[in-house]
Every structure is written in structure tokens, then in C-alpha cells.
Amino acid sequence: MFIDALGWEIVNKHGFCDQELPCRYPVRMQFGYSSTALPTILSGRKPTAHKHLSFYYYNPEKSPFKIFRCLMLQYLPGRIFNRWRVRHILSRIIKKLYGFTGYFELYSMPFDRLPFFDYCEKKDIFAAGGLAPLENLCDLLKEAGIPYLISDWRQPEEYNIRQMRAAVNDGSIEFGFLYTAGLDGFLHDRISDSGAVARKLAGYEQEVKNLLRAAENNYDDFTFALISDHGMTPLRGTCDLKTRIDRLGLKFGKDYAAVYDSTMARFWFFSPSARLRIMEVLAGEKNARLLTPAQKQEYGIDFPDNMFGEEILLCDPGIQIVPGDMSLRALAGMHGYSPGDKDSRASYLSNREPVRPPEWVGDYFALMRERISGN
């Protein structure tokens, strides 16, 4: 069972499932967001191998958003087109138009900047061949030829939980991957409301108990593992970097390109002078620092072609880039900070000791593979 954003901090604070799942380990998150954590979990490989980090990367030649140049959506009233709901509907139209099967959202990306970027999750990463040429969880299961169920991430989590419980109740599967993402959205808004978090977690705890009971009644032997991708860090402050870079008067797409994720800003430079002027602004940023080559290597994001940016500025824990390309406003909680920070840590909770305790979220893959092959 995957619970997005079930961090080690809240697990311990609330004693989440401590009776039912006594084998418990903090796990180092993959640097980045769920967009890179999920491919890492589903393949056991680093971003340099599966090539998923943040959603957007500079690639004007292959950009599926070239159409935005003609549509001139940037001239439409921002008060309408910056609304989340309107952008969500627009995202669905684009997704259908291009036949994208992956998770696709425009977020708050400015329409006039979109034609400079490509999007890394065009394919459904959970489906067979979704991370080709790498092998993913679905490929493993198909190869093993055992009956399995991987939840459809497009469905609401209530549906996914019900569907998994039904499959366990009639003993029709040998492996299940239950995907839930409701906690992530909840914690983005309410991480600081301890009472509300406790109530939300109690709901998940009940679902875990139901699943365990169903497994006990229908299987001679089973392993239940609850896994997560990262934690959630309460808001501590904001950083208006995008506004300050815009004010330099450089031309986007000609002098430089940038993506402002919630906790990091990624830059591509097209002239030495643009680089110099931007680097000056970045150096003056008090609540963020540039990733060093050693850190990029450690996080598995040392792309030889700088696919996701030549320079990456990472905010200190709790600081959000506002306004940014992912959101125009600050949220109560965010993730995507240093994997070493305590609030970043993910969790592995199980009814049974793992063969090797997972240290990094990518280690779940080897554990799943062992269960699938029956070793």
C-alpha cells in the first residue's frame, strides 16, 4: 500500500499503525517530487536512468506545446486562465489531443513559456513498458505470470481501496499495489492542524486493519508493506525569486530559460552575460542554495546533458517559491527539499521484517521483486 506523503515524522508523532505494522523504518526520499519518486519506486533506478525529475524540461524543438505560440492564450485574461479549475480542464484537453497517458497538469506554467518545454510524464509509468527501456513493476508482474492488481492512479483512492479489499477478499491476487494519493493533497493544506491530521490518519489506519483482516482470512501467508515517497514540511517563508529574475529584463527563451518548481528553480543559460546576471541574483538568495556537482551525483540527478537545468537552486526546508510555475500561492506544507531533512523522510511499515531494510525509496523495488519471485 502506497500512501503519498506519509512521512516518518507524522508516522511517529501519531503512532500510526504501530500495533498492526511493528517493523518500521525511515526511508530517504528521492530528491525531487512525486514525479520522480514514483518512477524511482516503480523501477528501483535513479532519475539519471529513468529520466524523470520535475515535469518540465527545456526542449523547444520537441515541445508538444508549440501550439501555444499560435493560440495566444497568454493574451487571455489571467484572472480566468490562472484559475486552477480552468487550467485543469485545459490540461485534460491537451492530454487528450496528444494522447498522453501519464499524469499531466499545466499547473501555473505561463502559456507564453510553455513552447520552450517538454514534459517528462507523457506515458503511464504504472503500465507495462511505461518506463521502457527500463523494467517497471508491471513488466515484472507480467513476466512472473502471477495474478496481480495495480490500482489505477486516475481513480479516487476510496475506489482503489475498495477494489483492493475485494481482490484480497476473494483471494484472486498474489500481488497487489494499492495506490493512494489523498493524504498528499490533505497535508499540503493542513499539515499544521494536528487534530485534523490525527483524524485523517485514523481513517487510513482503519483501512489498513480491514486489509490485514481480509488477508488473514483468505491467505495462508502474506506480507503487508506500507510505503511512502516523502514527508511534508510546514511553510516557514516564501521566496519571490521569479519576480526578481523577471525584473532583470532578460529575454526568456533567448537569453535564458527557467522553471520555478515549488522548492527549486532550474536554469538554462544561452549567453555568458545572462548567466552572470542570473547567478548574481541566485548568490544573493538567503533562503536557498545552488546544488553542487557532488549533491547532484548523490541524488542521482547528474544528467550529462543537464536535461533538467544547468543550475538548480534549492530552497531551505519550509521555504516556497511564490509565485512559481507550480503554484501562484503558498501552501501550508510542501515537499521537495533536501532528502537529508527530517521532514523529508518517507516511511516503510510492515507486518514482517524485510530481507534488507530499505534505505532509499528506490529500494522498495528490490523488496517487491523478491516478493513477486517468491524468494
**What does the binding site for Zn ion look like in residue numbers (CB under 5 A)?**
184
**Residue 33 vs 177, nearer CB to Zn ion:** 33
- Minimum distance from CB of 331 to Zn ion (Å)? 9
- Minimum distance from CB of 34 to Zn ion (Å)? 6
DSSP string, 17-30: TTTT--EEEEEBPP
At 337, is the secondary structure helix, strand, or coil?
A: coil
Q: Is residue 175 a contact partner of residue 372, using CB atoms and an 8 Å limit?
A: yes
> ∠ CA(202), CA(203), CA(206), 5° rounding?
85
**Residue 124 vs 184, nearer CB to Zn ion:** 184
> Which among 344, 339, 346 has a CA at the least distance from the CA of 364?
346
User: Which residue of the chain is nearest Zn ion when measured via CB?
Assistant: 184
CA distances to 25, 54, 120, 188, 262 from 51, in Å: 27, 10, 8, 26, 20
- Minimum distance from CB of 342 to Zn ion (Å)? 18
**Residue 116 vs 335, nearer CB to Zn ion:** 335
- Minimum distance from CB of 35 to Zn ion (Å)? 10
CA distances to 88, 110, 163, 241, 312 from 324, in Å: 17, 10, 37, 9, 15
**Residue 139 vs 184, nearer CB to Zn ion:** 184
Q: Is residue 151 a contact partner of residue 179, using CB atoms and an 8 Å limit?
A: yes
Amino acid, res. 276: L
**Residue 161 vs 187, nearer CB to Zn ion:** 187
**Residue 33 vs 365, nearer CB to Zn ion:** 33
Give the whole-angstrom CA distance, residue 149 versus residue 323. Answer: 40
CB atoms within 10 A of CB 304: 6
Give the whole-angstrom CA distance, residue 95 versus residue 86. Answer: 14
**Residue 184 vs 316, nearer CB to Zn ion:** 184
